[in-house]
Amino acid sequence: MAETLQIDRIRCDGHGLCAELLPELISLDDWGFPIIKAGTLPPSLVEHARRAVDACPVLALRLASMTPVTQRH
């Protein structure tokens, strides 16, 4: 199943480690907070993504399988 990188914005405190480990998908804004490229994760980057998830010191990053959106606000 396709996976995406998701980020808990309340937890994330802008360490920026994830962008260092996964520059293909994560860049940082002017204040050091991650901007994640839209879309699903290419299979070739899954391993790198896992490493970034593990490296986040506040456990703000996770890999989630795409589930159909039942409700949006």
Partner 1 sequence: MELIPLAPGAESLAAHRQRLGPLPTLPSGQLIAELEASGLLGRGGAGFPVGRKWRAVAERSSGGAVVLANGAEGEPLSLKDRTLMAGRPHLVIDGALLAARAVAADNIIFYVGGEHRAAQAALRDALAERSRDLQGGARIATAPGGYVSGEESAAVHFVNAGDARPTTIPPRPFERGVGGRPTLVQNVESLALAALIARRGHAWYQGLGHGQARGLGLVTVSGAVNHAGVREVEFGSTLGDAAAAAGGVSGDVGAVLLGGYFGGWADVDQQWGLPLDAHSMRARGLALGCGVVHFLPAQTCGVEATARIMTYLASQSARQCGPCVFGLAAIAGATQRLGARSPKADDLERIARWSGQLTGRGACRHPDGAVALLQSAMHVFADDFAAHQRRRCLTTSVPARVAVA
Binding site for partner 1 (CB under 8 A): 8-14, 29-33, 35, 70-73
15 binds, among partner 1, ligand SF4, none (CB under 5 to 8 A by kind): ligand SF4
Count other C-beta atoms under 10 Å from residue 72's C-beta: 4
* Contact indicator for 57, 11 with CB cutoff of 8 Å: no
d(Cα 7, Cα 35) in Å, to the nearest integer?
10
Q: Structure tokens of 56?
A: 């986040």
Q: Which is nearer to partner 1, 12 or 55 (CB)?
A: 12
Q: Which is nearer to partner 1, 1 or 9 (CB)?
A: 9
Q: How far is the CB of 41 from ligand SF4 (least distance, A)?
A: 15
